[in-house]
Amino acid sequence: MSGFVTIERMDRDVSAVAALMGDPTRAKMLLALMGGLALPAGELAMSANVAPQTASAHLSKLVQGRLLKAEIQGRHRYYRLASAEIAAAIEALAAVAPRPGTKDRRESEEPNPLRFARTCYTHFAGTLAVEINDALQKRSFLIPGPDRQYRITADGRLWFEKLGIDMAGMKSGRSDFARQCLDWTERRHHLAGALGTELLQQFFELKWMARIGKTRAVRVTHRGQEQLSKLLGIRFRR
């Protein structure tokens, strides 16, 4: 009998989370926070195209539902995703969402900075992220394993260390060390997990990449294009 009670409670919990994420206004706010940055209520209201008072009500529900965390700085309240698990759930939903219709698909094929390169919570996503992931596998630096994990080869560890990533200081045994993440625009995998986070931060540190304003979009610098072409054979349009 206790097993049925547990399942029934889980059903209610899943339904509650689904209801919170399923509202279009709240979905836009959650997607806006997938850049990994904390954003003020006013900015989230604009991203969802609603009045501040309406946004405040939605944000309160997301905080109460433990999907968001709120931080107070002075007179402003900032919001961020509550955990990496919430971000992973949003990624999964975006990946299984229906593809655009014919007209939308034609428009989506036009140059789109967000589709080309963007932050996906704390790691790197988009067309370029998928190409980098493919290149790492082609050179046998990453090898796909069970449970959507990657195994890092000896050559791979050396490559990441030369890039400046402290592989010895990272807990490579953890389940989310190097994870396969289905890219919601490309429908192919990019690199997530702790290693994916470190790789993105190192790209920023080396000034190979930079954020485009306060958006999730990322631009690749001239030096970044040169180095990614040299190290991984990535081709960029000139």
pLDDT of amino acid 106: 41
pLDDT of amino acid 100: 57
Buried b (16+ CB within 10 A) or exposed e, 170-206: beeeeebbbbbbbbbbbeebbbbbbbbbbbbebbeee
Q: Where are the domains of the chain?
A: 2-82, 86-232
- Tokens 């009045």 sit on residue: 51
pLDDT of amino acid 105: 39
| CATH code linked to domain 2-82 | 1.10.10.10
pLDDT of amino acid 218: 93
User: What secondary structure, in 3-state letters, does the chain show?
Assistant: CHHHHHHHHHHHHHHHHHHHHHCHHHHHHHHHHHHCCCEEHHHHHHHHCCCHHHHHHHHHHHHHCCCEEEEEECCEEEEEECCHHHHHHHHHHHHHCCCCCHHHHHHHCCCCHHHHCEEECCEEECHHHHHHHHHHHHCCCEEECHHHEEEECHHHHHHHHHCCCCCCCCCCCCCCCCEEEECCCCCCEEEEHHHHHHHHHHHHHCCCEEECCCCCEEEECHHHHHHHHHHHCCCCCC
pLDDT of amino acid 173: 56
CA 126 to chain centre: 9
Ranges in the chain, pLDDT < 50: 1-5, 7, 10, 102-110
Q: Would you tell me how many other CB atoms lie within 10 Å of the CB of residue 165? A: 18
